[in-house]
Amino acid sequence: MVDKYRNFIDGQWCDAASGETFLNRNPSNIDDVVGEFPASGPEDVDRACQAARAAYKEWRLVPPPKRGAVLLDIYHKMMEHKEQLAQLMSREMGKPIGEARGDVQEGIETAMYMSGEGRRMFGQTSTAEFKGKMAYSLRMPMGVAGLITPWNFPCAIPCWKAFPALICGDAVVIKPASDAPATAVRMAEIFAEAGLPKGLFNVVCGSGGKAGTALAEHPQVNVISFTGSTATGSKLAQITGRDLKRLSLEMGGKNAQIVMDDAKLDLAVEGAVWGAFGTAGQRCTATSRLIVHRKVLDEFTQRLIDGAKRVNIGPGNAESTNVGPLINEAALNKVESYVAIGRDEDHAELILGGKRMTAGDFAKGWFFEPTIFANGKRTMRIAREEIFGPLVLIIPVDSFDEAIDVLNDTDYGLSSSIYTQDVNRAHEAIRDIECGITYINGPTIGAETHMPFGGFKNTGNGHRESGTEVLSTYSEWKTIYVDYSGRLQRAQLDED
């Protein structure tokens, strides 16, 4: 018996207006059907947006500290259901259960952090140009936030987007990825149990082409926040640009880890294995380039091979697994195609992996071997294009300056890392690397909820997730002038 999931709109569970559905399968075992979901379209999106608009009109008048109290209730309720959410997530998208628990915990911590922002919704108070006059600014809610979220972080990223929107006074319509919708649907149920008023968090399942596009185009939606591919982000920019609608984009990466000749190699290898193969390389911050000083190249390469061979590949819900499957057949085919591309590139050398795994327990899942290419060059396609799988390229360099230059030679600028014991080099790297995130002696993956997350270049369009900076995505600034002089004082004129 297949579990049947429904949309959550205005506090009610409902099917798609068309009655159409789609199946979601466990990528560790495609015979395991996680559930049947509504294949929603414009009519369903419209219903959700109308409900969100009506709920917003009441929610915007709730004082921010009281909104924060509701988020704190959600925090406690999510803590109660943490293991359930993690198990569901691991089943529907294959993330190792340990990582899935961390994904849920990040969502939980975002609820706690944003609940506190209800008492820190700070504006600015300033002096004015005239006597008997004061000036200050306030954050104002925007209305309805449309959230289009990816499958690789089914809890954390929806929370990154929804909780800042809610604390700012907005209502939310979320379109989760069709490869991992169950977590978002279960979150809606948990939020309702925690006391979030109806209509503030609506979930509409379906494809990006139908439900996602309808959400971006809907006239009741004031801001769209999207995490996903650069190609889709570019299409959303065209759609929202026609209506001058605010758009926050968090897209691709081609992240690099530099290993200098003075690096602690055990630590650098440990970071590289985790950064390249954690979540099977399916993170926008995954390490896909290893820029290694020639003086330590041979030793680092051998240690990396040994480390990659030790990873335990298996189904997501097995406690011993630390590398799970890819999300679907298309993702598996994409990684295979890049292995073929790498084999054909001049001088590139496949030194580990390179094949899908089909024997025994892997036969019914989308598993791929941890894959390492050596003797890389910055011009190679596998050095420049986002692969989103467990494939990493080693690029040798002769100096620190060359390493920085190679790292920056990409269309993306999300995350970066350097391993060195030289404090001066570390700070030069912080200054010169063109990325939104830089780690010193740590891998490229990982984020903390109180710090801004996002990148340069084709990684995004200038907005940030998390921290206090994200509040600017979901609020408008209003400047207030209060003139209590009792007479007309004409600004922008040259008079006393």
Q: Which residues have a catalytic role annotated?
A: 250, 284
Q: For residues 175, 177, 178 and 180, what is the CA-based torsion angle, rounded to 10 degrees?
A: -120
Helix then strand then coil, % of the chain, to nearest 5: 40, 25, 35
**Do the beta carbons of residue 25 and residue 327 sit within 8 Å?**
no
Residue 426: φ, ψ to 5°: -60, -45
Closest CA to 322 of 102, 25, 85: 102
Q: Which 8-state DSSP code applies to residue 257?
A: E
- d(C-alpha 172, C-alpha 203), whole Å: 9
- d(C-alpha 480, C-alpha 312), whole Å: 59
The burial of 3, by beta-carbon neighbours within 10 Å (0-12 exposed, 13-18 middle, 19 or more buried), is given as exposed
Q: How many CA atoms lie within 13 A of 442 on its CB side?
A: 10
- d(C-alpha 39, C-alpha 207), whole Å: 7
Strands 475-483 and 133-141: antiparallel
Write the single-letter amino acid at 196: L
Beta bridge partners of 172: 145, 201
Strand segments, DSSP code E, in 116-211 are 125-126, 133-141, 144-148, 171-175, 201-203
Distances (CA, A) of 259 to 269, 410, 459: 9, 18, 23
Contacts (Cβ under 8 Å, ≥6 apart) of 482: 133, 134, 135
H helix intervals, 433-490 = none
Beta bridge partners of 12: 9
Strand segments, DSSP code E, in 155-254 are 171-175, 201-203, 223-227, 246-250
Closest CA to 250 of 231, 228, 235: 228
Distances (CA, A) of 448 to 105, 193, 195, 398, 427: 11, 27, 27, 33, 21
- d(C-alpha 456, C-alpha 415), whole Å: 9
